[in-house]
């Protein structure tokens, strides 16, 4: 099953502009600077420092090879060569290339249950390195790994599922590199083993990936719904379809992809929370839900790329683009040095440099982008160059056996104007196929073009060296929320999803060209999701509307009487994310407040109790129930409305059965316009009278 669209080698593409800068920083800020010693230590001296330490070196080799192929940086290449040589030197005589002791290999042992998974990433890294360097040692090492897996698992031997978590999906995801190993060696035993892996899905207690999806059941019912491992298997299934022509394999991947888009995909281009797919259109935004694992984002992009290659359909390119400009870029710290494990659609971004699966996966996502920026295809026997990026960029491609260079000088993301230049010394006949996120491209001078399902075509002709101008204006668009975001709106600008920055009072520079006077107030403070929160500020993608049942103080400024030791929020619609006034000292008064820049009319205030601890966290109501206050003038004094009469009869030492998460309401006699709301009371001491503090899960107000 040959590719309908053939990806470019990263070596032939140079990306500038916004995403090109992110790719460059991925290499310079992260890949060049990774300390490889702790990633390789477990291969030298088993066991490794933790059960899945082995995956990281393979992921780094995969990303670093693609990045080097694109940049040709000599320092990165030297580091890459040394890492590959060291990893190969750790391979044992039977082909084993993992981090577990002999008594705990290829099984589900305590602290040793990711062995095949590690070998999967060994293979992906080494085979990618072999592809771009031709180093025979990398291929020989990979073949020994493949032979070990064949000798250990399969027909008449142990099930490969017996060595993988999540109903075996972790171990069966080695499907992808086993097919790639077959392609690199031509040895059918590796392809046969790949088919055996697919058969194992239907074993007792297996994930039944193909059979479940062929029954048109949703993806959350496949296996145990674990998103990263399942998507990894679907990527492998696409490779198997390409190698065998098996339409059943391709159809399964397409069904899964469509179900994710329909029910599981966030507007920012990631999926899953708590690392699993869930029934229906349940897409929570809160930090506490572990939204949008970066490993899932990257593997979702890989699946979209696979289906774009195999079908040529623009929808797969569009979703790849959504992910790269939004959830992937948002998970990357703007200087490229750190990544988020999870990236929620509101709250703060938890960037980290601590070794974890997502810190190793994120750079892989950035490194694969150049492959799809420019592609080639053939339509009715006529070659076409596919332009699949709006960025300033260039590519040199082989078209009809001869090199053709295409250059794009773009004003993106400030606008959609661009100049395209074709350099073809051989005078070959070919067409050009262009996609843009807005769907329509206008060509200067009335150049004839055809529009077909997301692509626009310049008909084939004999090209020499010539240029043409075109434009694809970037529009600012309001999106109505559905499902769990019903009653909210989000904003997009071209491929970018925007978010409200809690501190910004300006219109983002890119947006000014598209903002009308009617829009100006609504879009003030909106920042691209990929850029917001870089300094630790809070943000929110989905915003409440006038008719919304969401708190009018959702995502606004918050404060408290003392900065405590919990970095949650009381205005994020998530009671599991909380704040406290704990600082180890005795406090006579504790309060929690939320304020807005422009007044809102409210009629009801609610306080959600935060967690209670042995040493406090509640209000001591023996000295008066917690009081409700409002601020009627911006930055003005606080006026007492009344108290939370439903709050239990607590003391400083006894919470009297009060539990975290309980909600207490104050109903106002008449609606009033306010700039702020505040709950104030006497904090509790619990069993430690030397200190006192209170906690709050959520502070809300409604019309």
The percent of residues in the chain predicted with pLDDT above 90, rounded, is: 83
User: CA torsion 44→49→50→53, rounded to 10°?
Assistant: -50
Predicted TM-score (pTM) of this structure? 0.91
Give 285-332 pLDDT, tens digit per residue: 988 899 999 999 999 999 999 999 999 999 999 999 999 999 999 999
Domain termination residue (choose one: 544, 571, 592): 544
Q: How many CB atoms lie within 10 A of CB 214?
A: 13
Q: How confident is the model at residue 454 (pLDDT cuts 50, 70, 90)?
A: confident
Q: At what angle do helices 55-71 and 115-133 cross, to 10 degrees?
A: 20
Assess whether 590 and 655 both reside in one domain: yes
Give 577-598 pLDDT, tens digit per residue: 999 999 999 999 999 999 998 8
Whether 518 shows a pLDDT value over 90: the answer reads: no
Assess whether 567 and 514 both reside in one domain: no
Assess whether 656 and 609 both reside in one domain: yes
* Burial class for 224, CB neighbours closer than 10 Å (0-12, 13-18, 19+): middle
Which residues pair with residue 377 across a beta bridge? Answer: 5, 384
pLDDT at 505: 83
Domain termination residue (choose one: 471, 501, 528): 471
User: CA torsion 481→483→486→492, rounded to 10°?
Assistant: -10
Distance in angstroms (rounded) separating the CA atoms of residues 172 and 179:
12
Tally of domains in the chain: 3
Going by C-beta distance under 8 Å and a sequence separation of 6 or more, which residues neighbour residue 196? 153, 154, 155, 160
**Exposure of 549 in the CB half-sphere (CA atoms within 13 A):** 3
pLDDT at 591: 98
Q: How confident is the model at residue 574 (pLDDT cuts 50, 70, 90)?
A: confident
Assess whether 613 and 687 both reside in one domain: yes
Q: Which residue has the tokens 């006529």?
A: 382
Assess whether 688 and 561 both reside in one domain: yes
Nearest 5°: phi and psi at 263? -125, -20
Cis peptide before 47 (omega within 30 of 0): yes
Query: Is the residue at 336 inside a domain?
Result: no
Of the candidates 124, 249, 244, the residue with the CA atom closest to the CA atom of residue 174 = 124
In this prediction, residues 38-52 reach a mean pLDDT of: 95
Distance in angstroms (rounded) separating the CA atoms of residues 204 and 60:
35
Q: Is 59 left (phi over 0), alpha (psi -120 to 50) or beta?
A: alpha
Query: Is the residue at 514 inside a domain?
Result: yes
Going by C-beta distance under 8 Å and a sequence separation of 6 or more, which residues neighbour residue 89? none
Of the listed ranges 2-6, 408-412, 480-484, 699-703, the one predicted with least confidence: 480-484
The alpha helices in 312-356, defined as continuous H runs, are: 314-323, 329-331
* Burial class for 75, CB neighbours closer than 10 Å (0-12, 13-18, 19+): exposed
Is the dihedral angle over the CA atoms 147, 368, 541, 696 positive or is it negative?
Answer: positive
The alpha helices in 503-629, defined as continuous H runs, are: 520-523
Distance in angstroms (rounded) separating the CA atoms of residues 695 and 553:
18
Distance in angstroms (rounded) separating the CA atoms of residues 160 and 172:
7
Distance in angstroms (rounded) separating the CA atoms of residues 252 and 233:
11
* Burial class for 175, CB neighbours closer than 10 Å (0-12, 13-18, 19+): buried
Q: Which residue has the tokens 């009809």?
A: 400
Are the C-beta atoms of 487 and 508 separated by less than 8 Å? no
Distance in angstroms (rounded) separating the CA atoms of residues 115 and 128:
20
Give 588-642 pLDDT, tens digit per residue: 999 999 999 889 999 999 999 999 999 999 999 998 999 999 999 999 999 999 9
pLDDT at 446: 56
Q: Give ∠ CA 463-465-467 in degrees, rounded to 5.
A: 95
Q: Give ∠ CA 301-174-28 in degrees, rounded to 5.
A: 50
SS3 content of the chain, % helix, strand, coil (to 5): 35, 25, 40
Assess whether 397 and 515 both reside in one domain: no
Query: Is the residue at 198 inside a domain?
Result: no
Q: Is 527 left (phi over 0), alpha (psi -120 to 50) or beta?
A: beta
What would you report as the CA-atom Rg of the chain, rounded to the nearest whole angstrom? 28
Assess whether 685 and 567 both reside in one domain: yes
Distances (CA, A) of 560 to 518, 549, 581: 35, 25, 7
Q: How confident is the model at residue 439 (pLDDT cuts 50, 70, 90)?
A: low
Query: Which two three-digit tokens encode residue 582?
Result: 């704990």
Assess whether 439 and 522 both reside in one domain: no
Whether 692 shows a pLDDT value over 70: the answer reads: yes
Q: How confident is the model at residue 282 (pLDDT cuts 50, 70, 90)?
A: confident
Distance in angstroms (rounded) separating the CA atoms of residues 580 and 560:
8
Query: Which two three-digit tokens encode residue 630?
Result: 């409002």
Is the dihedral angle over the CA atoms 132, 136, 138, 144 positive or is it negative?
Answer: positive
Distance in angstroms (rounded) separating the CA atoms of residues 111 and 502:
42
Tell me the CATH number at 600. 2.60.120.260
β pairing state of 382-387 and 429-434: parallel
Q: How many CB atoms lie within 10 A of CB 604?
A: 15
Distances (CA, A) of 107 to 116, 159, 471, 490: 9, 10, 56, 46
Tell me the CATH number at 463. 2.60.420
Whether 440 shows a pLDDT value over 70: the answer reads: no
- Element of type H or E holding 65: helix 55-71
Assess whether 677 and 578 both reside in one domain: yes
Whether 442 shows a pLDDT value over 80: the answer reads: no
Assess whether 581 and 524 both reside in one domain: no
Please give, one letter per residue, the 3-state secondary structure of 188-224.
HHHHHHHHHHHHHCCCCCCCCHHHHHHCCCCHHHCCC
Give 62-80 pLDDT, tens digit per residue: 999 999 999 999 999 999 9
Assess whether 506 and 448 both reside in one domain: no
Distances (CA, A) of 26 to 40, 76, 394: 21, 12, 19
Domain termination residue (choose one: 471, 489, 509): 471
**Strand, coil or helix: 356:** coil
pLDDT at 437: 65
Query: Is the residue at 572 inside a domain?
Result: yes
Are the C-beta atoms of 271 and 253 separated by less than 8 Å? no
Going by C-beta distance under 8 Å and a sequence separation of 6 or more, which residues neighbour residue 176? 120, 124, 232, 235, 236, 239
In this prediction, residues 257-286 reach a mean pLDDT of: 95
Q: How confident is the model at residue 138 (pLDDT cuts 50, 70, 90)?
A: very high
Q: Which residue has the tokens 């990894």?
A: 232
The percent of residues in the chain predicted with pLDDT above 70, rounded, is: 98
Give 498-514 pLDDT, tens digit per residue: 999 878 889 999 998 88
Give 178-209 pLDDT, tens digit per residue: 999 999 999 999 999 999 999 999 999 999 99
Are the C-beta atoms of 683 and 659 separated by less than 8 Å? no
In this prediction, residues 399-422 reach a mean pLDDT of: 92
Mean pLDDT, rounded, of the chain? 94
Query: Is the residue at 410 inside a domain?
Result: yes
What's the count of helices (H) and strands (E) in the chain, helices before strands? 17, 28
Query: Which two three-digit tokens encode residue 30?
Result: 């992260």
Query: Is the residue at 286 inside a domain?
Result: no
pLDDT at 452: 63
Q: Domain span at residue 530?
A: 476-544
Q: How confident is the model at residue 464 (pLDDT cuts 50, 70, 90)?
A: confident
Of the candidates 547, 541, 445, 450, the residue with the CA atom closest to the CA atom of residue 496 = 541
Are the C-beta atoms of 460 and 378 separated by less than 8 Å? no
Whether 400 shows a pLDDT value over 80: the answer reads: yes
Are the C-beta atoms of 203 and 159 separated by less than 8 Å? yes
pLDDT at 289: 92
Query: Is the residue at 644 inside a domain?
Result: yes
- Element of type H or E holding 70: helix 55-71
Query: Is the residue at 445 inside a domain?
Result: yes
Going by C-beta distance under 8 Å and a sequence separation of 6 or more, which residues neighbour residue 668? 602, 603, 604, 605, 641
Across the chain, which distance is largest between two alpha carbons, in Å? 90
Assess whether 465 and 485 both reside in one domain: no
């Amino acid at each position: 099953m040959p590719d309908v669209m053939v990806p470019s080698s990263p070596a032939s593409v140079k990306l500038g502009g916004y995403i090109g800068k992110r790719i460059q920083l991925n290499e310079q800020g992260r890949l060049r600077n990774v300390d490889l010693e702790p990633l390789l230590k477990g291969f030298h001296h088993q066991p490794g420092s933790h059960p899945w330490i082995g995956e990281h070196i393979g992921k780094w080799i995969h990303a670093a090879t693609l990045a080097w192929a694109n940049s040709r940086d000599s320092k990165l290449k030297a580091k890459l060569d040394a890492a590959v040589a060291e990893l190969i030197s750790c391979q044992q005589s039977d082909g084993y290339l993992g981090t577990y002791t002999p008594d705990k290999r290829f099984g589900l042992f305590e602290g040793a249950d990711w062995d095949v998974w590690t070998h999967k990433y060994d293979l992906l890294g080494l085979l990618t390195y072999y592809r771009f360097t031709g180093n025979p040692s990398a291929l020989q090492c990979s073949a020994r790994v493949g032979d070990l897996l064949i000798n250990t698992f399969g027909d008449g031997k142990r099930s490969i599922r017996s060595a993988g978590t999540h109903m075996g999906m972790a171990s069966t995801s080695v499907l992808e590199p086993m097919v790639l190993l077959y392609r690199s060696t031509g040895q059918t035993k590796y392809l046969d083993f790949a088919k055996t892996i697919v058969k194992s899905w239907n074993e007792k207690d297996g994930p039944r990936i193909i059979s479940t999806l062929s029954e048109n059941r949703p993806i959350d019912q496949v296996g145990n719904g674990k998103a990263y491992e399942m998507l990894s298997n679907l990527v492998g299934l696409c490779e198997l379809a390409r190698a065998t022509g098996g339409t059943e394999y391709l159809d399964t991947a397409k069904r899964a992809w469509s179900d994710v888009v329909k029910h599981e995909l966030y507007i920012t281009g990631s999926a899953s929370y708590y690392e699993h797919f869930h029934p229906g259109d349940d897409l929570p935004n809160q930090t506490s839900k572990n939204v949008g694992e970066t490993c899932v984002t990257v593997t979702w992009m890989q699946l979209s790329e696979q289906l774009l290659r195999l079908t040529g359909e623009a929808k797969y390119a569009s979703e790849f683009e959504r992910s790269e400009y939004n959830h992937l870029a948002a998970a990357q710290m703007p200087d490229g040095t750190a990544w988020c494990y999870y990236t929620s659609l509101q709250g703060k971004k938890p960037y980290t440099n601590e070794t974890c699966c997502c810190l190793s996966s994120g750079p892989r996502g950035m490194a694969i982008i150049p492959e799809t920026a420019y592609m080639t295809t053939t339509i009715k026997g006529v070659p076409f160059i596919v332009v699949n990026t709006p960025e300033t960029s260039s590519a040199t491609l082989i078209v009809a056996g001869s090199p053709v260079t295409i250059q794009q000088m773009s004003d993106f993301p400030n606008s959609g104007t661009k100049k395209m230049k074709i350099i073809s010394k051989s005078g070959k006949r070919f067409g050009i196929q262009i996609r843009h996120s807005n769907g329509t491209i206008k060509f200067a001078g009335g150049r004839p073009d055809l529009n077909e399902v997301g692509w626009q075509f310049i008909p084939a002709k004999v090209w020499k060296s010539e240029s043409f101008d075109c434009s694809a204006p970037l529009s600012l668009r309001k999106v109505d929320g559905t499902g769990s975001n019903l009653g909210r709106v989000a904003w997009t600008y071209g491929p970018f999803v925007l978010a409200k920055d809690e501190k910004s009072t300006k219109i983002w520079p890119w947006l000014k060209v598209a903002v009308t006077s009617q829009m100006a107030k609504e879009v003030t403070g909106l920042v691209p999701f990929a850029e917001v929160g870089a300094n630790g500020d809070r943000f929110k993608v989905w915003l409440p509307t006038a008719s919304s049942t969401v708190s009018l103080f959702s995502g606004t400024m918050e404060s408290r009487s003392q900065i405590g030791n919990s970095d949650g929020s009381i205005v994020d619609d998530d009671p599991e994310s909380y704040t406290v006034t704990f600082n180890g000292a005795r406090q006579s008064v504790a309060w929690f407040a939320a304020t807005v820049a422009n007044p809102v009319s409210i009629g009801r205030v609610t306080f959600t109790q935060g967690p209670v601890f042995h040493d406090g966290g509640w209000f001591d109501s023996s000295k008066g129930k917690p009081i409700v206050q409002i601020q009627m003038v911006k930055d003005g004094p606080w006026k007492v409305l009344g108290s939370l009469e439903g709050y239990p009869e607590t003391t400083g030492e006894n919470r009297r059965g009060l539990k975290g998460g309980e909600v207490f309401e104050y109903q106002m006699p008449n609606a009033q316009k306010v700039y702020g709301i505040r709950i104030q009371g006497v904090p509790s001491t619990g069993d430690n009278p030397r200190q006192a503090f209170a906690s709050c899960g959520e502070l809300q107000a409604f019309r």
